[in-house]
Amino acid sequence: MVCAGLAALARTTGLIGVVAKSPCVRSLIFDFFRDGSARRSIVAGAPPDAHRTLEICRHTKLRIFPERTLNMMPVHTPVAAPENDPVFRVRGLTKIYGEKLAEVRALSGVDLDLYPGELVVLLGASGSGKSTLLNILGGLDSPTTGGLAFRGRELSAVDEGDLTSYRRDVVGFVFQFYNLIPSLTARENVGLITEIARDPMTPEEALGLVGLGERMDHFPAQLSGGEQQRVAIARAIAKRPEVLLCDEPTGALDIKTGITVLEAIQRINRELGTLTAIITHNAAIAAMADRVLSLSDGHIVSEKRNASRAAVAGLEW
């Protein structure tokens, strides 16, 4: 679980590769981009405390986080746009896996605009293409054809270094499974992100926003499923992302716990003005959104704008 959590963290935050040489993670290798080329930092015998690890790195001149390298990495600079212009403009987006008889068309000509401060629910059954679309918006996958512009900049035209900066600085990810590192407290799990972000909140501030101010020094095993998911949300928003992408954030939770998690997401959207997209198969969640986009067989088949957002506490499923 430690390795899986580190790998997921690396993929979505700009730390490119993670290798653990033993079950105790005595040696961690982090690769990350510096001007398009990989640089490697090794920390031997890393303790489970993120802050002590950082001190070891500083004193030994090794780096587990790109503290100095950060300023030398390619920085994503979005094109300035008026508030009424979309954050994302998607046109004719397709995604095809395999070829010939094994071809699977996950997306088929999707057109979509997402605007600042919106809370959008992408609704669809398994296999409808919603997760593929979210992964492409987040820079975790690339389209086969079509256009995807963020703030007027075509993402398909950027190199891997800029795409890494985009994932690190612009997008926060929340997944169905929490990907927390078991040997770190809630505060330290969030602190992993604040060490590499350009203008982060403190871990304490981020955890306070999701209602975990009294639980920040607990380890994941000491937290409920809903609390672990809220730590994952705090980790995602600690870097002050412009976009928050949530992939089935309540899929592994019961209704009571799911309501608590959705309330945290809604609060982030309202208080920080973060463009938020939630993908789900649960139609009841649609009522909390500004807009609901229904997907089927790789197409957006309908769009509905709610007259007002429903209170999350009143949702039932």
- pLDDT 10s digits, 279-292: 999 999 999 999 99
The mean per-residue pLDDT over the stretch 6-35 comes to 40
* Backbone torsions φ then ψ of 38, nearest 5 degrees: -80, 140
Give the model's pLDDT for residue 303: 96
- pLDDT 10s digits, 149-197: 999 999 988 889 999 999 999 999 999 888 999 999 999 999 999 998 8
Return all residues near 223 (Cβ < 8 A) that are at least 6 apart: 186, 215, 231
Closest CA to 88 of 131, 139, 127, 129: 139
* Position 80 pLDDT exceeds 60: no
Question: Distance between CA atoms of 234 and 206, rounded to whole angstroms?
Answer: 5
Which range in 51-55, 67-71, 300-304 is most confidently predicted, on average pLDDT?
300-304
pTM, entire model: 0.74
- pLDDT 10s digits, 240-256: 999 999 999 998 888 99
Q: Count CB-CB contacts under 10 A for residue 170.
A: 19
Question: Distance between CA atoms of 224 and 31, rounded to whole angstroms?
Answer: 32
Question: Distance between CA atoms of 29 and 12, rounded to whole angstroms?
Answer: 16
Where helices occur in the chain by DSSP H, the ranges are 2-13, 50-60, 130-137, 160-169, 186-194, 203-209, 225-237, 255-272
- pLDDT 10s digits, 260-276: 999 999 999 999 999 99
Q: What domains can be seen in the chain, in order of their start residue?
A: 2-72 (no CATH), 88-170+241-314 (3.40.50.300)
* Position 62 pLDDT exceeds 50: no
Residues paired with residue 89 on neighbouring β-strands, in sequence order: 113, 149
Give the model's pLDDT for residue 218: 97
Average pLDDT, the chain: 79
Give the model's pLDDT for residue 200: 93
